[in-house]
Structure 1
Amino acid sequence: MIRIKITSGDFSFIGRLEEEKSPKTCEWFLNLLPYKETMIHVSWSGKASFIRLGDLGHGVPYEKATSRPSKGEVMMYPGNIPHLQMGGEIFLAWGGCVLSCANGNIAGNHFMTIIEGNEKLAEFGQSIHLHGGREVVFEKSED
């Protein structure tokens, strides 16, 4: 089991990569690490935050993609649908939500699940929602 440490200010989470569900997405993500970017609140989706990837995820195939993640699930939308003219996203569900955009629902690959720190996810998400973007760092956990 590959574990990922996610930190943002005083917040810290541990995620488990979902290698059986999304092997190509997990491989893509591991090649990014360590990865640091700003996470912002979603516009259309509910209680979730996301990182804009631009074309960084283009070429990653859909792997049992879904539009309805559960709290603590981390999704990756490749963004490689030309008619939508959208870049990809890493999407963190911290409450009830659905992956969507101005054009309707989109789907993403569930590639990681938060396994430690879930009790702080809503507080983390609310801090982004109320106060703006937060820098988030993803790195492979040595534990």
Structure 2
Amino acid sequence: MSLIDISAGEFRFVAKLEEQLAPVTCARFRTMLPYAEKLIHVRWSGEGCWIPMGDNPYDLPWENATRHPAPGQFIFYPGGYSETEILLAYGGVAFASKLGPLAGNHFLTVVEGTEQLPLLGRKVLWEGAQPITFTAR
């Protein structure tokens, strides 16, 4: 099992790559590590935070795709109908954009620190963008 350390604002998490369910997406994400960006609150999807990655699409197949990630699940939307992004659910999410419903590849799941997810979500909602970093163990 491949683990990723995540620092988001003042919070720390450990997540596992879903390598059997989303092998291509996980391999692509590994090439991005260490990865540092800003985490902002979603606009249409519910209780989630996202990392906007611009209009450059990533050539990823649909694997382990979902529109409703559970709290602690990260999904990678490779672009196309909306901009490329990574989304983290901290509560109920119905992944969408201004164009309507979307699905993304569930590739990463928080396994330590899940109790902090609602606190992180509220902080991002009320205090704005937070730094987030992903590093391989």
Counting matched residue pairs gives 137
Alignment match, 2:18: 18
SS of 2:124's equivalent? helix
SS of 1:20's equivalent? coil
Query: How far, CA to CA, are the matches of 2:52 and 2:16 in structure 1?
Result: 21
Contact 2:25 / 2:107 at 8 angstroms: preserved in 1? yes
Can you give the 5+ residue segments of structure 2 that lack an aligned partner in the other structure?
none
Alignment match, 2:86: 90
Residue type at the aligned position of 1:54: G
Give a deviation string over 1:30-74, Cα, whole Å, max 9, x none: 000000000100000000000011245521111131101001101
Query: How far, CA to CA, are the matches of 1:26 and 1:56 in structure 2?
Result: 18
Change (3 A) 1:57 1:33: farther
After superposing on structure 2, the runs of 4+ consecutive aligned residues of structure 1 that deviate more than 4 Å are none
Alignment match, 2:124: 128
Query: How far, CA to CA, are the matches of 2:29 and 2:94 in structure 1?
Result: 22
Query: How far, CA to CA, are the matches of 2:74 and 2:60 in structure 1?
Result: 15
Q: TM-score, normalised by structure 2?
A: 0.96
Q: TM-score, normalised by structure 1?
A: 0.92
SS of 1:111's equivalent? strand
Query: How far, CA to CA, are the matches of 2:15 and 2:48 in structure 1?
Result: 16
Query: How far, CA to CA, are the matches of 2:9 and 2:70 in structure 1?
Result: 24
Percent identity between the two aligned chains: 40
Query: How far, CA to CA, are the matches of 2:3 and 2:56 in structure 1?
Result: 22
